[in-house]
Structure 1
């Protein structure tokens, strides 16, 4: 009986640690080429040191994104995310998609994250995630754990 109790204790610790090492979230991600938000799955893994954004639609599979944690240079949320998104990609989008972004940020009960990263050509790019506010706290914890960065907000501009 003692061996069984020991096994259960060790197994529960290992299982709990694995949960803390990876999170998966349903969200909407900005598809840069179309300028529209599309359904996606966000996976954050501290074990693999990565953030993955995988579009749900087969049509956008070539635009999935996998980032190493050390390539992420800033994460912002709320109005700060809106500002950083416009600054980073605003010049490359036509007014229609920018108008859609403004409408996106006006929604209640959703939280947006702008994730700035350095790509393989050493250029700064941005990924935009829109997630239900009730699901945002675990994502915040996973992103901060992955990158060591604090999420920038209007209240916490750092």
Structure 2
């Protein structure tokens, strides 16, 4: 009896842990774009990943028109850190052009207490993008779920380059 119980228990643990991995709801900030009223701000939202979608739901009833579900198979690129910053601020960037061409808010989107993710995805055959901010302490778990959702797609990430070493040339000995 005990020999049958251990394999069944181990399978149950694996199945439950995989199910629980997709049950997490993250609080963060999502970019709300309203082209008609030229509104482009981050607002509090709930971010939930299932096995096939990433759901972004704004907390305020005023912004419910911005709610969206992004299919994991429609995500074409995920960027974070300085790489995301470069994508958004580079004038030749496709993602920056999609999000900010008519609006110009790139200077307001970078906050130290959040980890920012730029998601480039296809919606009804057209390329589009959005930005999500997650609190730094929740970022590793969110990133793991995001990678799983997007078929283990790599998240392009670039650490900031803060080096205080100054190369003054060869070391001369007297």
- Tell me the TM-score normalised to structure 1 length: 0.80
* C-alpha distance in 2 between matches for 1:14 and 1:142: 16
> What is the aligned partner in structure 1 of residue 59 from structure 2?
56
| Structure 1 residue 24: Cα displacement | 1.4
1:69-88 alignment runs, 5 A limit: 69-86=72-89, 87=96, 88=98
> What is the aligned partner in structure 2 of residue 43 from structure 1?
48
**Which structure's residues are more often helix, by fraction?**
1
| Structure 1 residue 9: Cα displacement | 5.9
Whether contact under 8 Å (1:85, 1:126) holds in the other structure is no
> What is the aligned partner in structure 2 of residue 139 from structure 1?
142
Aligned with 2:100 (options 81, 86, 90): 90
Q: 1:8 to 1:70 in 2, by over 3 A?
A: closer
Q: Which SS does the other structure have where 1:153 is aligned?
A: strand
Q: 1:11 to 1:154 in 2, by over 3 A?
A: closer
Aligned with 2:126 (options 103, 108, 123): 123
Q: Which SS does the other structure have where 1:35 is aligned?
A: strand
* C-alpha distance in 2 between matches for 1:21 and 1:118: 22
Tell me how large the CA RMSD over aligned residues is.
2.3
* C-alpha distance in 2 between matches for 1:9 and 1:124: 42
The alignment covers a number of residue pairs equal to: 146
* C-alpha distance in 2 between matches for 1:142 and 1:132: 15
* C-alpha distance in 2 between matches for 1:67 and 1:114: 13
Larger radius of gyration: 2
Q: Which runs of 5+ in 2 are unaligned?
A: 90-95, 160-174
- Tell me the TM-score normalised to structure 2 length: 0.73
| Structure 1 residue 13: Cα displacement | 4.0
